[in-house]
Structure 1
Amino acid sequence: MTDTIARYFEAFNAGDTGAMLDCLGDQIAHHVNEGKIRAGKDKFAEFCAHMSRCYKEELTDLVIFSSDDGTRAAAEFIVNGTYLVTDEGLPEAKGQTYRLPGGSFFELKDGKISRVTTYYNLADWIAQVSAG
């Protein structure tokens, strides 16, 4: 199952939403940091389009962990990003760069990701882009 998670993150870093969607089950539950749960691939794709418009991100220092039965996994990483376009309710974008730790938790079913939950410190991100 870690192969699925590795492909998901490779696709993320390549900016390939289609390849990310290929890693997801049809009923994906996407738990967003500081946001509502999005259900289904269409909502996930909409989220990715929004994120690609506002942010350019690459994840480094990726470490993937998985349960023995292959139904759960987690990853920690560093988010290296550039804030491209102002996101509603957040500070103004001026091309600021940021670097912060993050993590994701996964449930897997039939070789596909059925839930992804992502966390990062929003206050740290706001401080970084406000100073930049």
Structure 2
Amino acid sequence: MSPEEIRAGSLAAVTTYFDAFEAGDLVKMTDVLAADVVHTLAMSFDGGVEPGLVLAGRDEVLGFLSGILRQVSRRDLSDRRTTAGEDGNTVFVEAVGDAEIAGSGISYKNVYVFKFECADGQVKRITEYANPVAAHKALNIPLG
């Protein structure tokens, strides 16, 4: 496979992932997540350097995402800026999140940076960076 084909496959997987997330379509997300995918929320909720959460395997990642989809009634990731690494397997996405908490109508805005590591057109690793204070306030996640 050429470097251009690798890059195109990675970019397509990441685009499908985000479009499916915004649409609340777990089936389409499943299609692009590798069975052994790992999703790390790199932001710390206690001020340390350890990740806030590490999810391993497609079922665990989809369970987490399913919970988010239930909690958040509207999900928009705008101003997406996507950069593919030289190897074509690594994709970085910067985005502005604008969501609404289900049932309460509370607005949740955050700024995200995602690092996707892909192989064979599937997402193998997701590392997510965001402002933990914004997440805490909107989602009532304990800090400290």
Give the alignment's TM-score, normalised by structure 1.
0.82
Gaps of 5+ in 1: 86-93
Alpha-carbon offset, residue 28 of structure 1:
0.2
> Which residue identity lines up with residue 67 of structure 1 in the other structure?
G
- Matched residue SS, 2:37: strand
Name the structure 2 match of 1:42. 59
Deviations along 1:49-70, whole A, 9 cap, x unmatched?
1111212322111111111221
- Relative to 1, partners in 2 of residues 1:15 and 1:68: Cα closer, same or farther, differing over 3 Å? same
Name the structure 2 match of 1:83. 101
Given candidates 99, 114, 124, the residue that maps to 1:114 is 124
- Relative to 1, partners in 2 of residues 1:51 and 1:72: Cα closer, same or farther, differing over 3 Å? same
Name the structure 2 match of 1:11. 20
State whether residues 37 and 56 of structure 2, in contact with CA within 8 Å, keep that contact through their aligned partners in structure 1. Answer: yes
What is the aligned-residue RMSD (CA, Å)? 1.9
> Which residue identity lines up with residue 74 of structure 1 in the other structure?
F
Distance 1:28 1:129 in 2: 25
Give the alignment's TM-score, normalised by structure 2.
0.76
Distance 1:26 1:127 in 2: 33
Q: Taking every aligned residue pair, what percent have the same amino acid on both sides?
A: 26
Matched, 1:54 2:71: yes
Runs of 4+ in 1 over 6 A off after TM superposition: none
Q: What is the total number of aligned residue pairs between the two structures?
A: 122
Distance 1:12 1:128 in 2: 19
Deviations along 1:17-69, whole A, 9 cap, x unmatched?
11111111111011124432111110011101111121232211111111122
Matched, 1:22 2:39: no
Distance 1:29 1:4 in 2: 15
Distance 2:119 2:16 in 1: 16
Distance 2:137 2:63 in 1: 27
Matched, 1:95 2:95: no
